[in-house]
């Protein structure tokens, strides 16, 4: 059985917000600013806005003068997830597999077969207990990436259907 492959990520400080990947890239907000992660062919991270610029755009529940729920960056509109909000994440794949909290072994998430409930793969994730922190997991809309993100850590996995070799 093929498994999801964890991507090697650069060191990332405390995370304030993140977006789910679209077209092999995602945005990540830390106290140092806004970063773009290019995920393929290898992960590359670059700061695209300093902290003051991104803070000035943040209206608490909307972005910029238009007060949109999405931030416009790089020709795309990005919806952010974090301690201050987010949306329902994609936890069911078209293959029938789904992402669930691992209640048998706390401290993780599992992908299970939707028809048999068989455990396919387990991923470490510490669930936040502090209301100022967050723990969010889900799949990218193209089902290519699994993202597990907390205020302290980001883990990204590539689907076995997209791994070459």
pLDDT of residue 165: 54
Cα 85 to Cα 59, 99, 135: the distances in Å are 13, 20, 11
Residue-range domain boundaries for the chain = 5-162
Residue-averaged pLDDT of the chain = 91
pLDDT at 1: 63
Check whether 127 has a pLDDT greater than 90: no
Q: Which tens digits make up the pLDDT trace of 45-85?
A: 999 999 999 999 998 878 888 788 889 999 999 999 988 77
| pLDDT above 90 (res 129) | no
**pLDDT given at position 67:** 81
Q: To the nearest whole percent, how much of the chain has pLDDT over 70?
A: 98
Distance of CA 14 to the CA centre of its chain: 14
| Strands annotated E in 10-128 | 15-18, 25-30, 33-38, 44-50, 71-73, 76-78, 81-82, 97-101, 108-113, 119-124
**What residues contact 114, with CB distance under 8 A and at least 6 apart?**
92, 96, 97, 98
CA triple 105-87-19, angle to 5 deg: 85
pTM comes to: 0.92
Cα 58 versus chain centre, distance? 19
Query: What pLDDT is attached to residue 64?
Result: 82
Separation CA 44–CA 9 (nearest Å): 8
Of residues 87 and 109, more confidence is placed in 109
The pLDDT value recorded for residue 60 is: 80
> Does 152 score more than 80 pLDDT?
yes
3-state secondary structure of 149: strand
């Amino acid at each position: 059985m093929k498994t999801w492959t964890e991507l090697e990520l650069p060191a990332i400080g405390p995370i304030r917000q993140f977006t789910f990947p679209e077209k092999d890239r995602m945005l990540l907000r830390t106290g140092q600013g806004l970063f773009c992660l290019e995920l393929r062919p290898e992960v590359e991270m670059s700061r695209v806005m300093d902290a003051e610029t991104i803070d000035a755009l943040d209206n608490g529940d909307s972005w910029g003068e238009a007060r949109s729920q999405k931030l416009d960056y790089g020709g795309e509109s990005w919806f952010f997830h974090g301690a201050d909000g987010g949306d329902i994440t994609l936890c069911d794949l078209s293959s029938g597999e789904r992402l669930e909290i691992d209640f048998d072994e706390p401290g993780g998430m599992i992908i299970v077969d939707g028809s048999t409930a068989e455990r396919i793969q387990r991923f470490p994730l510490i669930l936040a207990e502090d209301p100022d922190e967050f723990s969010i997991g889900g799949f990218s809309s193209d089902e290519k990436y699994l993202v597990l993100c907390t205020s302290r850590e980001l883990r990204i996995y590539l689907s076995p259907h997209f791994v070459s070799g």
